[in-house]
Structure 1
């Protein structure tokens, strides 16, 4: 199994087998922490071969730099994945989209969205959370001498 695409984005959809991705990103800025990101999607495109046939467990987890899950109670998210290719097919692609709402990040730093198959990491998509610096106010113009 090959993961051809693994990207975090604002919105994703599968339209007649086409993976539609809008607003791909790898960095989020916040004025303070903790911060809640209201909504985003993980878009995946899998390429399956006859060797992948059978029942599998697909897992998704968002982890911090220490490997700690973002939500210890709900992650990893694990689902069943049954792979069966049509007779004579050398490969098959499938789009998978996971929508997230209300992701809470306790601190700035580097995170990863890990995608696993039967416990083995197949893809790790980086995500950086950055503390935004306040905008600097422009300096006041220097007083000008009156013309003589």
Structure 2
């Protein structure tokens, strides 16, 4: 499996197999804490080889600098079907609302496939 795209953004949508991403970012700032970020999206595109066809588990976590989960993990299954090509692609656009950050610091969104860590996406939460 290859991770072609894994990003936090203002908005994302899968439109008939085309992943639309608007306003990618990795930093959020506020002068007051706790701070609630009203809305954003997590966008991704995964490429699986023909040999990887089948059902795969996924998990997405939002953690703080100590590795503590801030919210329940997003979990599910990806059914990768065989394709006429030698690979299959899976797009995802997950809308995240009202993310609360209790203090400035380094946070991350982590992607796990089949219970194995695949990618971490840093989020710097900055005090203005």
TM-score if structure 1 supplies the norm length?
Answer: 0.83
Unaligned runs of 5+ in 2: none
CA distance in 1, matches of 2:33, 2:114: 34
- Give the aligned CA root-mean-square deviation in angstroms: 1.0
Q: 2:124 aligns with which of 128, 136, 139?
A: 128
Q: Report the equivalent of 1:110.
A: 106
List gaps (5 residues or longer) in structure 1: 133-148
Out of 73, 77, 80, the position equivalent to 2:77 is 80
SS at match of 1:32: coil
> Is the strand fraction higher in 1 or 2?
2
Structure with greater Cα Rg: 1
Matches within 5 A, 1:30-69: 30-69=30-69
SS at match of 2:51: helix
Structure 2 counterpart of 1:94: 90
State the partner residue of 2:115.
119
Indicate yes or no: 2:16 matched with 1:16: yes
